[in-house]
Structure 1
Amino acid sequence: MTAPFNFSRGKLPLLVSIPHAGTALTPEVESALSDAARPLPDTDWHIPKLYEFAQALGASVIVGNYSRMVIDLNRPADDKPLYTTATTGLYPETLFDGTAVFIPGKEPNTQQRKAALDTIWQPYHQQLQSELERMKAEHGYALLFDAHSIASHIPRLFDGKLPDLNFGTNGGKSCDELIEEHLVACAASQNQFSWVANGRFKGGYITRAYGQPSQGVHAVQLELAQCNYMDEQPPFAWRAERAEKLQPLLEQFIRSMLSSAQQIA
């Protein structure tokens, strides 16, 4: 069985979480995928590569290895909906565009889904929680940067083209206001990429569950429009010339979180 995640420990009080870049499948899911789902279009393609600089800076990094078609690491274990608008659940049955994930009648059963929760979802969150606790014990606080991406046009989820940079802080509840202010200032200081804070994507379960600023844990989600670093159609190729323009700004965001947290501390 594929390990549920890859983890690298750094020296900074910052954990970069990448829950949706995995492509591993359980046998029951792989054999049941619809033709539309087989290319795994809702994957956060190349995000670990895009954020390689964060590990070089000294951040801890956790990357989920399994596809969200098996289980979504950014949804609560009780599968309670995070949004009132169209969304996908803990065990996605539709793609973002509304197409069925599985061949009718071949969906994973309750026992198979429970196994995915126990062996994939739980270990990822246990490691995430453990690392945040370690950072807080060592540094007095911990920062969580939840890194995501999505196709820039998905009519079922949002109208028109998604902004390039979509920050989510659960409406300001998942991090200290100074951290959000500095991130917004970084985004506003440039005109190459469009941005919004707490727009369509306010932060998923990871941001909402672990971002507890009163307890010294500050979490931010960043949802990137994929057109800025890759092709949005299969085979979802990496585009270095685009990524190289985006990565310096992403590094500014990471450094902004670190400097803001030092001021708070």
Structure 2
Amino acid sequence: MSDAQIRDFDPAFEALEPDVLVAPVVFNSPHSGRVYPARFLQQVRLDLPTLRRSEDTDVDALFEGVVERGMPLLRAHFPRSMVDVNREPYELDPRMFDGRLPTFANTRSMRVAGGLGTVPRVVGEAQEIYARRLPIEEAMVRIDTIYKPYHRTLRRIIAGAHRAFGEALLVDCHSMPSLAPAREDRPRADIVIGDRYGTSCSPVVSDVIETVLRGRGYNVVRNKPYAGGFITEHYGQPQSGTHAVQIEINRAIYMDERSYRRSASFEALRLDLMALADGLMRLPLDRPGDWRIAAE
């Protein structure tokens, strides 16, 4: 366990913003945080390698080159196993806490039932994170000091792109384990595009992503098994000129999932994703019929 992995994070997240914004495209990596505060590790029953199974390890590094191209990237330093910003602000499991949850908490969502609320109960294949209940104040502090500031920053960056260009596209960047649960009936693709079944963005967005990545040899599918989480659903309002799409990358194509180290194919994937970013920069969001121009 390295000192970098157990230090207290300051800041909890980082907004990398270009000097000049050249396109209405915003990139977000909300699950790439890999700084585990010592206090958090004292609260959990799992070891660090197990906790890291919920990380989108190095996804922020795969997309970091967008900043020099003139597009912003927001990335987490805090771990997803501590607080998940791809949830509603108060998706909380009452079984996890000592104390009364606020009446406005969503305690009945499918994500809460699965142990994957705003403060997760499990990682991996339903491995319990905590040996005992947490004080309810712990959840409130994480939401107030990490979750809410993160979303305030994301809203600010999206709003800035929308003001500058009259439209905005949020690309929410994630990774997925290569081994699918038994309930999935086929091997996982290289890339899964999540657009909430066509509701979170203009069709041009998903079309260009699929065309560019298929053209570079990747197996690409849409919405199965990941259609997009809270961020995609919440920020994707194409009728208002704000589009959101989720990209899930199979970890096996860029890293060793056991050691968490980058594989030899990491750089090739990074370059392919920068080619995708270049295509998204040219997206005619208001003219879906022109999407082939952006894919060239």
CA apart distance, 1:84: 10
CA distance in 2, matches of 1:114, 1:85: 20
Length-normalised TM-score, structure 2: 0.80
Give the counterpart letter for 1:250 in structure 2: L
- Structure 1 residue 257: deviation in Å? 2.4
Q: What's the CA shift for 1:134?
A: 1.1
Q: Does structure 1 retain, via aligned residues, the 8 Å contact 2:115–2:126?
A: no
- Structure 1 pair 95–29 and aligned structure 2 pair: CA distance change class (3 A): same
Q: How far apart are the structure 2 equivalents of 1:70 and 1:226?
A: 21
Q: Does 1:72 align with 2:84?
A: yes
How many residue pairs end up in the alignment? 260
Q: Residue 122 in 1 paired to residue 148 in 2?
A: yes
**Aligned mates of 2:185, 2:121 — CA distance in 1:** 22
The question of 1:146 aligning with 2:155 is answered no
Q: 1:85 to 1:257 in 2, by over 3 A?
A: farther
Q: For residue 165 of structure 1, what is the aligned residue in structure 2? A: 191
Question: Shift of the alpha carbon at 1:249?
Answer: 2.7
Do 1:29 and 1:69's aligned partners in 2 also have CA atoms closer than 8 Å?
no
| 1:57 CA displacement | 1.2
- CA-based RMSD: 2.3
Residue by residue over 1:54-75, the C-alpha shift from the partner in whole angstroms, topping out at 9 and shown as x without a partner, is 1121110111111011100111
Are 1:230 and 1:238, in contact at CA under 8 Å, matched by a contact in 2? Answer: yes
Give me the identity figure in percent: 23
Partner of 1:94: 122
* 1:237 pairs with 2:265: no
Which residue of structure 2 aligns with residue 200 of structure 1? 225
**Deviation of residue 53 (structure 1)?**
1.9
> In the alignment, is the contact (CA less than 8 A) between 1:182 and 1:256 conserved in 2?
yes
Separation in structure 2 between the aligned mates of residue 156 and residue 37 of structure 1, nearest angstrom? 25
Match of 2:269 in 1: 246
1:219 corresponds in structure 2 to 244
2:207 equivalent in structure 1: 181
How far 1:217 sits from its partner (Å)?
Answer: 0.8
Please tell me whether residue 110 in structure 1 is matched to residue 136 in structure 2. Answer: yes
Which structure 2 residues correspond to residues 12-91 of structure 1 after superposition, within 5 A? 12-36=23-47, 39=50, 40-79=52-91, 81=109, 88-91=116-119
CA distance in 1, matches of 2:270, 2:167: 26
Quick check: 1:5 aligned with 2:13? yes
Letter in 1 for 2:81: M
> Deviation per CA, 1:82-135, whole angstroms, max 9, x where unpaired?
669957221111113111112x21x43210110000000000000000111111
Distance change >3 Å, CA 88–CA 216, structure 1 → 2: same
Decide whether aligned partners of structure 1 residues 41 and 238 sit closer, same or farther in structure 2, where only a CA change above 3 A counts.
same
For residues 151 and 63 of structure 2, what CA distance do their matches in structure 1 show? 20
CA contact 1:7–1:63 (8 Å) conserved in 2: yes
Q: Is the 8 A contact 1:6 1:65 kept in 2?
A: yes
| Residues 195 and 244, structure 2, Cα contact 8 Å, conserved in 1 | yes
Q: Which has the larger radius of gyration?
A: 2
Q: 1:92 to 1:171 in 2, by over 3 A?
A: same
Tell me the amino acid that sits aligned with residue 197 of structure 2.
Answer: G
Shift of 1:37: 5.3
The 8 Å contact of residues 204 and 285 in structure 2, kept in 1 or not, is answered as: no
Q: 1:229 to 1:177 in 2, by over 3 A?
A: same
Structure 1 residues 125-158: Cα deviation after superposition (integer angstroms, max 9, x where no partner) = 0000011111111111111111111211142674
Match of 2:157 among 131, 139, 163: 131
Contact 2:24 2:162 in 1 (8 A): yes
Structure 1 stretch displaced more, 74-83 or 43-52:
74-83
2:206 alignment partner, SS class: helix
Partner Cα distance (1:142, 1:153) in 2? 34
The separation in 2 between residues aligned to 1:70 and 1:140, in whole angstroms, is: 36
Aligned CA distance change for structure 1 residues 82 and 258 (closer, same or farther; 3 Å): farther
Q: TM-score, normalised by structure 1?
A: 0.89
